[in-house]
Amino acid sequence: MFDAIILAEVISTILYSALGLGLMAVVWYVITWISPFPVIKEIEEDQNIALAILMGAIFLGMAIIIAAVVLS
């Protein structure tokens, strides 16, 4: 069963996962940098649901784009 797992596939999976997480972190820092208000305060303390939904949609879109690039 484990004979089919190749070391190169495991390493590439780990590297692509790290690349995806790194890109998500970059997107988060860019969004918090360009926004005129503190994003975390708006979501956590002020309970801004619209901003939370928008941030979730942005990250979902980025995840789909990263997955499409990795699979191509």
Predicted confidence (pLDDT) per residue in 16-35, tens digit: 888 888 988 998 999 999 99
Percent of the chain clearing pLDDT 90 (strictly above): 44
pLDDT of residue 4: 65
Query: How many whole angstroms separate alpha carbon 31 and alpha carbon 29?
Result: 5
Q: Where are the domains of the chain?
A: 2-71
Question: Helix 49-71 and helix 7-34: axis angle, to 10°?
Answer: 150
How far, CA to CA in Å, does 72 sit from each of 51, 54, 63, 67?
Answer: 32, 27, 14, 9
pLDDT score recorded for residue 8: 78
Q: Answer whether 55's CB lies under 8 Å from 47's CB.
A: no
**Residue 24 confidence (pLDDT):** 87
**Position 65 pLDDT exceeds 90:** no
